[in-house]
């Protein structure tokens, strides 16, 4: 009898990166997802260890982890067929001295040009292209459906997808801020209940505004496909995904200020998504305490794209019983 697959619940960046990592190691996987718009699709796709570390003024060990996440991207993108853009990221318009000092103190390169500081350490993907490449690489392992319950069996788990049952050797929860699935052990429910939702509103402008990432107080603007992405809010506690006009107006004004240009009419499509965050701002990646072949790839806060391949590798290592990567401890769900 062949071994049942590893079932990954959720096809956002964390679920698909974990599935792809396992798939390229030769493991049988099934990814279940309803196929709706998720946070991963509407994100700006910045792989930004330098800017994220300096903006959030993180401790050096966080910056090292973010850099390690970025460093996995080059080989991962080639293997998965993801286009990885290397373009400068610039900070303008406020506390430029502080940003430069923090970038340098954390070991990131930083070029000062007048009233802005630029780094070449950050990359970017187009989330739509990247998600589509990962789905294509996984082929018919990605199935449309919503997991409604899971139950322990002698050999693993039985996963309910509507009225269908899937046997799983192991289960990976990569459900974003989705609802708690029935049948989860108490330890998993507690960790999921503690995830804080943080709403983010973002706009896609149908016009090129910049040729590289420009960030500043209250907004960023990045190139994307044939236009630009304008983002993004951080609204803790909000789960709604309907864009609101006041926020759109505030973000648009902030972007013109950051670009130091007079406002011009722009055709912008606004969207909102919800990121999940833990109390320490790092994802939950690894085994749910108590064993039982149940794993998590959840709650990467603002850095789901940055940390996707790292989370995928940490979870895959644990599933396979391989020696843990140096960053596994920091992401271990058992730390809470
Ligand atoms: C506006 C905005 C901008 C962002 N920009 C960036 C950026 O530039 N760089 C960066 O690194 N990060 C960015 N992020 C953060 C990043 O998008 C998130 O951290 C990441 O998308 C989270 O991925 P995820 O896989 O955990 O969740 P999601 O993308 O939410 O995916 C979870 C999936 O699980 C599915 N699911 C839930 N419940 C079930 C169930 N019961 N059965 C089956 N499937 C289920 C959902 O339908 C969904 O498809 C941004 C986020 C936002 C909102």
CA-nearest residue, atom 33 of ligand 1 = 10
Distance CA 268, CA 202 (A): 10
Q: Ligand 1 mean position to 215 CA, how many Å?
A: 22
Q: Read off the pLDDT of each residue in 309-336 and give the average, rounded to a whole number.
A: 95
Is 67 within 8 Å of 54 (Cβ atoms)? no
Q: Ligand 1 mean position to 40 CA, how many Å?
A: 4
Q: Indicate the pLDDT class of residue 109, thresholds 50, 70 and 90.
A: very high
Distance CA 17, CA 48 (A): 17
Q: Does 324 score more than 90 pLDDT?
A: no
* Secondary structure (3-state) at 61: helix
Distance CA 318, CA 299 (A): 18
Q: Does 277 score more than 70 pLDDT?
A: yes
Q: Does 1 score more than 80 pLDDT?
A: no
State the closest ligand 1 atom to the C-alpha of 46, by its place in the atom list counted from 1.
8
Q: Does 2 score more than 80 pLDDT?
A: no
State the closest ligand 1 atom to the C-alpha of 300, by its place in the atom list counted from 1.
19
Q: Where are the alpha helices (DSSP H) in 153-227?
A: 186-193
Query: Which is nearest to 282 in space by CA: 303, 296, 262?
Result: 303
Distance CA 123, CA 120 (A): 8
Q: Does 147 score more than 70 pLDDT?
A: yes
237, β-bridge pairs: none
Q: Does 299 score more than 90 pLDDT?
A: yes
Q: Ligand 1 mean position to 1 CA, how many Å?
A: 36
Distance CA 173, CA 332 (A): 14
* Pocket of ligand 1 from Cβ distances under 6 Å: 9-15, 32-34, 36, 38-40, 42-46, 146-147, 174-176, 178, 181, 200, 202, 231-232, 273, 275, 298, 300, 302-306
Residue 176: its pLDDT value, please?
97
Query: For 71-85, what is each residue's pLDDT tens digit?
Result: 999 999 999 999 999
Burial 210-239 (b: 16+ CB within 10 A, else e): bebbbbbeebbbbbbeebbbbbbbebeeee
Q: Read off the pLDDT of each residue in 230-246 and give the average, rounded to a whole number.
A: 95
Query: For 163-200, what is each residue's pLDDT tens digit?
Result: 999 999 999 999 999 888 999 999 999 999 999 999 99
Query: For 218-227, what is each residue's pLDDT tens digit?
Result: 999 999 987 9
Q: Read off the pLDDT of each residue in 304-308 and give the average, rounded to a whole number.
A: 98
Is 110 within 8 Å of 100 (Cβ atoms)? yes
Residue 209: its pLDDT value, please?
95
Residue 325: its pLDDT value, please?
85
Q: Ligand 1 mean position to 37 CA, how many Å?
A: 9
Q: Ligand 1 mean position to 231 CA, how many Å?
A: 16
* Secondary structure (3-state) at 281: coil
- How many Cα neighbours within 13 Å face the side chain of 232? 24
Q: Ligand 1 mean position to 95 CA, how many Å?
A: 30
Distance CA 213, CA 80 (A): 24
Q: Global pTM? A: 0.97
């Amino acid at each position: 009898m062949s071994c049942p697959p590893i079932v990954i619940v959720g096809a956002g960046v964390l679920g698909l990166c974990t599935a792809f990592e396992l798939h390229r190691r030769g493991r049988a996987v099934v990814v279940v997802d309803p196929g709706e718009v998720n946070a991963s699709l509407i994100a700006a796709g910045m792989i930004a260890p330098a800017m994220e570390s300096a903006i959030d003024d993180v401790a050096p060990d966080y910056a090292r982890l973010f850099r390690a996440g970025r460093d996995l991207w080059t080989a991962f993108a080639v293997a998965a067929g993801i286009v990885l853009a290397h373009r400068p990221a610039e900070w303008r318009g406020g506390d430029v001295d502080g940003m430069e000092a923090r970038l340098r103190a954390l070991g990131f390169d930083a070029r000062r040009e007048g009233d802005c500081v630029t780094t070449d350490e950050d990359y970017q993907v187009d989330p739509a292209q990247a998600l589509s490449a990962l789905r294509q690489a996984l082929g018919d392992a990605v199935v449309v459906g919503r997991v409604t319950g899971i139950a322990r069996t002698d050999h693993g788990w039985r996963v309910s997808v509507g009225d269908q049952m899937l046997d799983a050797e192991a289960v990976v929860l990569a459900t974003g801020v989705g609802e708690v699935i029935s049948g989860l052990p108490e330890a998993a429910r507690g960790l999921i209940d503690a995830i804080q939702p943080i709403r983010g509103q973002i706009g896609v402008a149908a016009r090129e505004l910049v040729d590289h990432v420009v960030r500043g107080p209250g907004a960023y603007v990045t190139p994307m496909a044939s236009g630009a992405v304008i983002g993004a809010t951080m609204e803790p506690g909000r789960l709604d995904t309907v864009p609101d006009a006041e926020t759109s107006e505030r973000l648009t004004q902030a972007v013109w200020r950051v670009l130091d240009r007079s406002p011009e009419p722009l055709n912008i499509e606004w969207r909102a998504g919800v990121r999940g965050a833990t109390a320490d701002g790092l994802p939950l990646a690894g085994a749910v305490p108590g064993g039982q072949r149940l794993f998590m790839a959840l709650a990467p806060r603002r850095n789901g794209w940055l940390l996707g391949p790292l989370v995928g590798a940490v979870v895959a290592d644990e599933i396979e019983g391989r020696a843990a990567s140096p960053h596994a401890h920091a992401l271990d769900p058992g730390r809470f």
